[in-house]
Structure 1
Amino acid sequence: MIDNFLSLPIGEPDGYTSQLSALGLRWEYFEQTLRMSEQARRNGKTKDDAKNAPGSQDYFTRVRELRYSLRTELEWKPYDPLQAPLIVSPDKTVGIGVLLGDARTGLPGSPHPRSKRPAGVTKERAVARNQDLQLPFEEPEFAEPDVAQSDADEYAQMVTWYLLTHRHEARKTGVVTVRSELSLPDRVGPGGKIDGYQRRILLPAIEFESVNDYAVETTGDFDVSVEER
């Protein structure tokens, strides 16, 4: 499966279907994940919930639904290196996690989106491995795994993609737009934030009905971006 990376079309207009297909994936898996996570966010916004409950539920649901879809549909396996949850292909060459991005998420061109928060040690290691395994214009070399290898070595040939998302809530209308992309990071920039990608598969934006009837989040680790529209 990893061999398909070098043949992914770059810059193809509306080419997400063929790009996902090269990885054995479909847009429907990600669309369902994003719709379920938005619903979980809204369900977690009551007067009795913690301030950060909606964003936390959004995150947990993105992880759970993506893993559930790929596990049940494609027989991928959950993998949790140091509590940085991934879902991994059966041949252990492709891993996918979830990540919040800035306002550039889902938009073509440069600059690339930045992760909303510092990557942390586990994600930094994943990015470094991406650099080692996916050098431009070179075919990566692979070795058959040794049954005596440690768990870490078992995943040594795995590149890590992220479902990068950005949630925009219009201040006046309350309409929510979620932009997303499935991207392969290859750089951690200033402040420890991921800000460069070897591949970016831009996915369709999803628009949700107004949230004006819900309370506005003001604090919490998983805060919402509210901007003028």
Structure 2
Amino acid sequence: MIGNIQHQAGGGPEGYETQLAALGLKLEHFDQILRVSEEARRTGMTRDDAKNAPGSQDYFTRVRELRRTLRTKLGWHPYDPMQAPLIVNEEKTVGIGVLLGDARTGLSGSPHPRSKRPAGVTKEQAVARNQDLQLSFEGLEFVEPDESQPDADEYAQMVTWYLLTYRYEARKTGVVTVRSELSLPERVGPEGRVDSYQRRILLPDIQFPGVKDYAVETTGRIVVDVEER
């Protein structure tokens, strides 16, 4: 495992423990997920791997660890609408997926972070459902599905949150920082990217030692975003 992992206060307001607890979650769940995914992108890479292999390995590990952690610790269950992996609570009212954000991720205020890539059809549908459910909370008409019907949507009351992450390496020190937040999207912008959220739970930054060259066979460095620090 990577040593010398440190937490730093994020740019947002305090109280993330209370906000996570309202969803039945704890900071330690996400700490473990991000720690394991960072380890995954640093190990096992060789000169024969694709240049984007570390990032892909990070993503797949985040998906796996998010689902494994909440399944084993909280009894949540995996759900894969149109191959978009989520983990869902027992009541089927809260689903969580993973998403890459931009440099605004983990920072309070406006503008909100944008997703690094276009959301795609499944995420757009999830955001639309978040909007519909928000309207229902505000007192507008919303009809619950009749679960006795064979085509009833058992996930009709589920809002979809995303664990957003942004990772960068400080140019001067080489220290890698991962900023993250658990956020509830409410809009997909004109470029197809998620760019606005009903709620944002900003999590503490995590810092890791600088990225070393690949072991033995490797010739390059892992590519990460770089910021002045």
Q: TM-score range by the shorter chain?
A: 0.7 to 0.9
Q: Give the counterpart letter for 1:77 in structure 2.
A: H
After TM superposition, the score normalised by the length of structure 1 is 0.86
Separation (CA, whole Å) in 2 of partners of 1:164 and 1:156: 23
Q: Is the 8 A contact 2:183 2:197 kept in 1?
A: yes
What secondary structure sits across from 1:197 in the alignment? strand
Q: Which has the larger share of helix? A: 1
Q: Secondary structure at the match of 2:135?
A: coil
CA distance in 1, matches of 2:34, 2:222: 19
Q: Name the CA distance, whole Å, in 2 between partners of 1:37 and 1:166.
A: 13
1:170 aligns with 2:170: yes
Question: Are the counterparts in 1 of residues 211 and 222 from structure 2 also a CA contact under 8 Å?
Answer: no
Note if contact 1:142-1:157 (Cα within 8 Å) is conserved in structure 2: no
- Aligned residues between the structures: 213
4+ aligned runs moved over 2 Å, structure 1: 139-145, 147-151, 212-218, 226-229
Question: How far apart in 2 are the matches of 1:94 and 1:34?
Answer: 20
* Residue 20 of structure 1 pairs with residue 20 of structure 2: yes
The unaligned stretches of length 5 or more in structure 1 are 1-11, 219-223
Q: State the shift of 1:226 in Å.
A: 2.2
- SS for the counterpart of 1:143 is coil
> Take 1:119 and 1:44, find their aligned partners in 2: how far apart are those partners?
29
Structure 2 SS opposite 1:213 = coil
* Partner-residue secondary structure (3-state), 2:178: strand
* Contact 2:187/2:195, CA 8 A, preserved across alignment: yes
- Higher relative CO (Cα under 8 Å, sequence separation at least 6) belongs to 2
**TM-score of the two chains, using structure 2 as the length reference:** 0.86
Asked whether 1:216 is paired with 2:217, we answer: no
Structure 1 counterpart of 2:94:
94
In structure 1, the partner of 2:50 is 50
Counterparts in 2 of 1:190 and 1:72: CA distance versus 1, 3 Å: same
Q: Does 1:193 align with 2:193?
A: yes
Alignment of 1:99-110 (within 5 A): 99-110=99-110
Q: Can you list the C-alpha shifts for 1:85-125, whole angstroms capped at 9, x where unaligned?
A: 00001111100000000000000000000000000000000
Instruction: Give the distance between the partners of 1:227 and 1:45, measured in 2 at CA.
Output: 24
TM superposition shift of 1:44: 4.2
Give distance in 1, aligned partners of 2:184 and 2:157. Answer: 14
Equivalent AA in structure 2 for residue 59 of structure 1: Y
What's the CA shift for 1:142?
Answer: 6.7
Structure 2's unaligned 5+ residue stretches are: 1-11, 215-219
Contact persistence 2:13–2:202 (CA under 8 A): no
| Superposition RMSD in Å | 2.1
Alpha carbons of structure 1 residues 142 and 44: separation in structure 2 relative to 1, 3 Å: farther
- The residue number in structure 2 matching 1:143 is 144
Structure 2 contact 144–156 (Cα < 8 Å) conserved:
no
Distance 2:136 2:111 in 1: 19
Kindly state the Cα deviation for residue 150 of structure 1 after the two structures are TM-superposed: 3.0
**Contact kept in structure 2, 1:44 and 1:57, CA below 8 Å:** no
- Match for residue 221 of structure 1? none
Distance 1:145 1:39 in 2: 45
Q: Which moved more, 1:138-147 or 1:190-199?
A: 138-147
Letter in 2 for 1:143: E
Q: Percent identity?
A: 73
Output the amino acid matched with 2:181.
E
